[in-house]
Structure 1
Amino acid sequence: MHFQPTEEQRDLRAGVRELLAGRYGREALRASVDTGVTVDRALWRELGEAGFFALRLPEAEGGVGLGLPEAVLVFEEAGRALLPGPLVATHLAAGVVPGAAAGTMVVTAFDLGDGLVAYLDEADAVLGAAGAPGPTGVPTGSPVRSADPLTPLHRVISYADGSADSSAGSSADSSAGSSIGRSSYRSQGALLTAALQLGSALRTVELAVRYAGEREQFGQPIGAFQAVKHLCAQMLVRAEVARTAVYAAAVTQDPAEVAGAKLLADGAAVRNARDCLQVHGGMGFTWEADVHLHLKRAWVRAEQWRTAAEAEELLAEELLGPAV
């Protein structure tokens, strides 16, 4: 069995990379950091027109009609580009929240613990625990300082009806119009977030290798030194192991495999960003370098949809089996 992307899947990935390179390259990324604009509505609509959010909707419903493996490839490229915004929630909301598939609506979700919601000020709707839009609209929240300058966080205070319970945004699994069950919704969100982490992990490998080939010490590139070679090699191994796990989970959609993929991708994104900083030396800690943005985003994503503790619990239950 040759477990490799098909030609169509490779073309899809290349097309998304080209789109993001032209529309959200490094200059746009740094402009977002400098201006604090985290969701570009024009870009959001362009993503919708390109089928980013409607990728898995059936063609009969105006979607592209592809599957989770293709979505993982697309989200991997978004993670590589550090594209900000509630990408996962809006993708999951396609077919549930009118306008989400077309990118005319920005949808966020209760994907963080402690009552935190990302991109609340930019959102037009909030997905609840069951994958359905909140019946009382977007809640109010108080800003919370975020590690990532492009992932603003708010702690929910109350809904329009005065409730302060995040469950008010879901109506449980019986929510009208919801086509996503709670467990499937969280599992898909975790996998797509793992794909974002994977893209970041692979990108930091590229950044480290490139810098190691350019930066010279003692008359030769630092990449010639054994310690730097080892760091870059370890980064590549982490990223490729995570890639295998994420791709496999996209095919099987097994909850335990998704949990394992999220664990590996989170670890690869965070540790690769740290090692990339190490390769860059003092330069990597400056605001002008992009490495710190990958690390900060990886920290936040590691707490979204499924934390390490939650994934470990799920894996333990799977390994131990039901109690006798």
Structure 2
Amino acid sequence: MDFQLSDDQRALRRGLRDVLEGRFGRDVLRAAVEEPRLDRKPWRALGDAGFFALCLPEEAGGVGLGLPEAVLAFEEAGRVLLPGPAVATFLAAGEVAGAAEGKVVVTAVEGPFVPWLDEADVVRGDAAGAVAVRSVDPLTPLHRVRERGPGDEAPDPRDPRDPRNPRALLLTAAEQLGSAARTAELAVQHARQREQFGGPVGRFQAVQHLCADMLVRAELARVAVYAAAVTGDPLEAVGARLLADDAAVRNARDCLQAHGGMGFTWESDVHLHLKRAWVRAELGGGAARAEEALAAAL
């Protein structure tokens, strides 16, 4: 299986990176941290750029691309910590009027939580009686929905961790992959620039090994995510999600370590990657549910 990107896919990734970094730069990110409110203007700009309509057929007003291209798009979204329920809105394109254009924000119940409930125009799933809870991630407001009863355990196809919905699961894995790759880059940049004892801290083997481990985790997750995007296999998507969750969380923690005391400050963006990775990893039931799906298949 060839995982090399085509020229068109590389051009798509470059274009999306320019759009996302331009619309969701550090100033926008910090504004969202101070006030967790979804800015509709850049959200609509994503719609105008075709972000939410990538997989819609051209005759339906979409771009007509496939799941591998969608994975590339959400990998870039993960790099910039895109605020908002992007996966739910993307999956609603073509089903909910205005979602493809970024005019309508769609969220979904994911396990016991629903993100961005107050900002969403449409909610997929039963969010009746949802109660706001304090989220560890300032960029992801959360509500908790009612507890399920004994007779209410049937899998929900809208649940990102449900193997019957590999697209939702895989797009979230792609976001985690983007975050894991970005924190690896941030750690390497800091190791090259930060000087102690007369030279860059990157010359120390402990720091080199830390960065190497981060790269290995990110690349392992990348191969799994890309492979699942090509095959569309639900169980491969579950495995990719587990690897991407692990890479995002552990890379963010190691990036904090590489930055030293600076990484633990509020002014640094590294902690935002860690908090977002924690929240993403728990939405939909956490790793235990994904592991149970793999065990059941075996």
The answer to whether residue 32 in structure 2 is matched with residue 32 in structure 1 is: yes
Which residue of the partner structure matches residue 202 of structure 1? 181
Structure 1 stretch displaced more, 188-197 or 305-314:
305-314
Q: Give matches, 1:249-288, under 5 Å.
A: 249-288=228-267
Displacement, 1:20? 1.1
> For 1:216-246, what per-residue CA distance to the aligned partner results, in whole angstroms no more than 9, with x for missing partners?
1111100000000000000000000000000
- Distance (Å, rounded) in 1 between the aligned partners of 2:85 and 2:3: 30
* CA distance, structure 2, for counterparts of residue 309 and residue 141 of structure 1: 23
Deviation of the 1:311 alpha carbon: 1.6
How far, CA to CA, are the matches of 1:143 and 1:34 in structure 2?
Answer: 18
d(CA) in 1 for partners of 2:42, 2:10: 23
2:144 aligned residue? 155
| 8 Å contact from structure 2 (residues 36, 141) kept in 1 | no
Match of 1:51?
50
Q: What are structure 1's unaligned runs of at least 5 residues? A: 129-133, 158-163
Larger deviation, residues 302-311 vs 96-105: 302-311
Match of 2:11 in 1: 11
Q: 1:102 to 1:140 in 2, by over 3 A?
A: farther
TM-score w.r.t. length of structure 2: 0.92
What value does the CA root-mean-square deviation take over the aligned residues? 2.3
Aligned amino acid, residue 93 of structure 2: A
Letter in 1 for 2:144: R
Q: Which runs of 5+ in 2 are unaligned?
A: none
Q: Name 1:97's counterpart in structure 2.
A: 96
Greater Rg over alpha carbons, structure: 1
Question: Do the aligned partners of 1:262 and 1:306 also contact (CA within 8 Å) in 2?
Answer: no
Are positions 1:23 and 2:2 aligned together? no
Please tell me whether the aligned partners of residues 107 and 125 of structure 1 are also in contact (alpha carbons under 8 angstroms): yes
After TM superposition, give the deviation of residue 142 of structure 1 in Å.
2.0
Q: Distance in 1 between matches of 2:19 and 2:136?
A: 28
Q: How many residues end up aligned between the 2 structures?
A: 293
Question: For the Cα contact (< 8 Å) 1:93–1:127, is it kept in 2?
Answer: no
Identity of aligned residues (%): 66
Deviation, structure 1 residue 26? 1.4
Mapping for residues 119-198 of structure 1, pairs under 5 Å: 119-128=116-125, 139=128, 141-156=130-145, 186-198=165-177
Query: What do the CA deviations read for 1:13-48 (whole angstroms, capped 9, x no partner)?
Result: 1000001111111121112112332x1111111111
Q: What is the TM-score with the length of structure 1 in the denominator?
A: 0.85
Whole-Å Cα distance in 2 between the matches of residues 286 and 11 of structure 1? 36
Query: Contact between 1:20 and 1:78, CA under 8 Å: does it hold in 2?
Result: yes
Distance in 1 between residues matched to 2:225 and 2:77, nearest whole Å: 15
CA distance in 2, matches of 1:89, 1:185: 15
Contact 1:86 1:108 survives alignment (8 Å) = yes
C-alpha distance in 1, partners of 2:22/2:142?
28
